[in-house]
Amino acid sequence: AAQPAETFSVLPEPNGSLRIVMPPNTKCQFELIDILGERVWSGTIAGTQSINVGTLPLGTYFYRLTSGTHNESGKILLGE
């Protein structure tokens, strides 16, 4: 089956990281925002990589990912 041209995923990992999966040779701006609307992580990510969020309190966060014309946002739960 053909893959979509741009596939992005944000996955929590048990080691206290968030894995951001994106197409090869892609750069994006990634922001992680807490439930109060405070930005707790922001940066440019190139290709698939993990960011350390192990120091953040457990709970619900929102993310925003921007890459060229691709914009995506969602909710993610850190911890159990």
Query: Along the 80 residues of the chain, how does pLDDT read in single tens digits?
Result: 544 556 889 999 988 899 999 888 889 999 999 999 999 999 999 989 999 998 999 999 999 999 888 899 999 999 85
Are the C-beta atoms of 30 and 62 separated by less than 8 Å?
no
- Token pair 């990912």 is found at 65
Q: In this predicted structure, what is the pLDDT of residue 14?
A: 86
Both structure tokens of 2: 């053909």
Are the C-beta atoms of 63 and 34 separated by less than 8 Å?
no
Q: Are strands 70-78 and 9-13 parallel, antiparallel or unpaired?
A: unpaired
